Amino acid sequence: MKPITVAVTGLNASDNPAPGVPVIRAIRQGADRECRIVGLAYDALDPGNYMDGIADDVFLMPYPSEGASVLYERIAYVHAKTPIDVLIPCLDAELPAYLKISDKLRALGIATFIPGEDQLNLRSKARFYDLKEKLHISVPKSIAIADTSSIHKLDEQFDFPVMVKGQFYDAYIAYSPMEVEGHFQRIRAKWGAPVIVQEYIPGEEYDVVAVGDGKGGLVGAVPMRKMQLTDKGKAWGGITIRDQKLHDFIVDAMSKLKWRGPCELEVIKSSDSEDLYMLEINPRFPAWVYLSVGAGRNLPWATVRLALGEKIETMPPPEPGVMFLRHSFDQICKLADYEALAIGGEHRRDKEM
Amino acid sequence: MFENLALSENGFLFDSRTGSTYSLNQTGTFLLRKLIDGELPERLLKLLGSDFEVAEEVAERDIEQFLFRLKDLKITNEQENGE
């Protein structure tokens, strides 16, 4: 088979790690052909830049805020140095820019497999309730508020408590309009307006990593329950589950969304009614995606193959009871490698050979 | 009815539908094993009495509390309503 080169972003591996390193591990494990990996990092101090057996080459990238044209120029440069066949963006903030340049990347010979603009917009927290109104996907009732004027009327629209969420991050529970206002001010200062007020659903939360084929089909999904959390509520351990009702819910949502590419779905099962509600759709792999490999459903490698235009059979639900526990370790790095990234913006291992 | 429950001989219980795990004591393991194997709850008192030296009224109370606990944790209740 023809060797391929896959570029992967998101090589940060802190206590709130990006998905790039586990995505690369999954690709390396799944690849049935010679596969070169190019890491696209935002910081010379991203630990994934230095891990043995992860990226063959690493290039520093401009931040998404610098715009799509700057991003394209940098990728064209990288592509000239080490031709890329497939590129997998792994961070939420990158997706809009990669979407804008996906046609130009295709013209260069670089394939992606990412959701379209409509899907990206629909899953944004500010428009999340549209999923229910337009697609009839069960989501908690929510409204986006841009200022404090509507807060005093919230008790007419919601039973308290409610969740108050930033459009990108942060979520707090509020038991009164007064508490909503406090959280609103804090979140707006940090993440900007609008701030989302959402119906609070007490229940058990599940995370699902899934890949959609873009035509309404589910390529594969691995559901898990978090077993231990960081102080930011991120999974530091989890276990695969099997729940037919949850699986049907995911199949239905992916069908209605016609989701293309990877995503992480956060779903809650109401403790009162056992009804399922979609809480969030993140348009990229989660950092715990390596669990999909452990569960025999290598979704990152499937995504590479889909990007290459290969046909993938629908994967059956995985076995329940596959656990992961995350750990951290101290990565020893060569000063010369750090220098190469910090000064030259690239580190190519083949130059060492 | 209990197809989502994996119970080991050591009393380690995994509910594959929820991802929850539990540690059961010897009698809890015995009782749940019997239920998983298809015994009716009404037969548990007799079965427990034949394998463990325990006064009938104590066994009856313990079984009642155990079944209530299973239901409270939605280990049995969820099975009945789930599909």
Q: What distance in Å separates the CA atoms of residue A72 and residue A101, rounded to the nearest whole number?
A: 7
**Cα A127–Cα A132–Cα A136 angle in degrees, nearest 5:** 145
Residue A351: its pLDDT value, please? 53
Q: What distance in Å separates the CA atoms of residue B13 and residue A346, rounded to the nearest whole number?
A: 50
Residue B77: its pLDDT value, please? 60
Cβ–Cβ < 8 Å for A224, A241: yes
Q: How far is B22 from chain A (nearest CA, A)?
A: 13
Residue A330: its pLDDT value, please? 92
Contacts of B81 in chain A (CB under 8 A): 274
User: Which of A225, A226, A239, A243 to probe by mutation at the B interface, max B CB count within 10 Å?
Assistant: A243
Contacts of B14 in chain A (CB under 8 A): 320-321
Q: What distance in Å separates the CA atoms of residue A245 and residue A247, rounded to the nearest whole number?
A: 5
**Chain A residue at shortest CA distance from B14:** A321
Contacts of B19 in chain A (CB under 8 A): 206, 224-225, 227, 238-241, 320
Buried b / exposed e over A198-219, threshold 16 CB at 10 Å, is bbbbebbebbbbbbbbbeeebb
Tokens of A51: 């891990």
ipTM of the complex, rounded to two decimals: 0.83
Residue B80: its pLDDT value, please? 46
Write phi, then psi, for A132 (nearest 5 degrees): -80, -45
Residue A152: its pLDDT value, please? 86
Cβ–Cβ < 8 Å for A163, A200: yes
Q: How far is A241 from chain B (nearest CA, A)?
A: 5
A156 CB-contact burial (10 Å; exposed 0-12 / middle 13-18 / buried 19+): exposed
CA nearest to B24, candidates B35, B8, B40: B8
Residue A346: its pLDDT value, please? 96
Cβ–Cβ < 8 Å for B45, B60: yes
Residue in the structure block whose two tokens are 């929850």: B20
Residue B81: its pLDDT value, please? 42
Q: How many CB atoms lie within 10 A of CB A155?
A: 13
Query: Cα dist. A164→A148, A308, A338, B10, B72 in Å?
Result: 13, 41, 41, 44, 30
CB contact under 8 A, B19 and A274: no
Give the pTM. 0.92
Tens of pLDDT, residue by residue, chain A (353 residues): 899 999 999 999 887 899 999 999 999 999 999 999 999 999 999 999 999 999 999 999 999 889 999 999 999 999 999 999 999 999 998 999 999 999 999 999 999 999 999 999 988 888 888 999 999 999 999 999 998 888 988 989 999 999 999 887 788 999 999 999 999 999 999 888 899 999 999 999 999 999 999 999 999 999 999 999 988 788 899 999 999 999 999 999 999 999 999 999 999 999 989 999 999 999 999 999 999 999 999 999 999 999 999 999 999 999 999 999 999 889 999 999 999 999 999 999 875 43
Residue A179: its pLDDT value, please? 94
Residue B82: its pLDDT value, please? 41
Residue A272: its pLDDT value, please? 87
Residue A137: its pLDDT value, please? 95
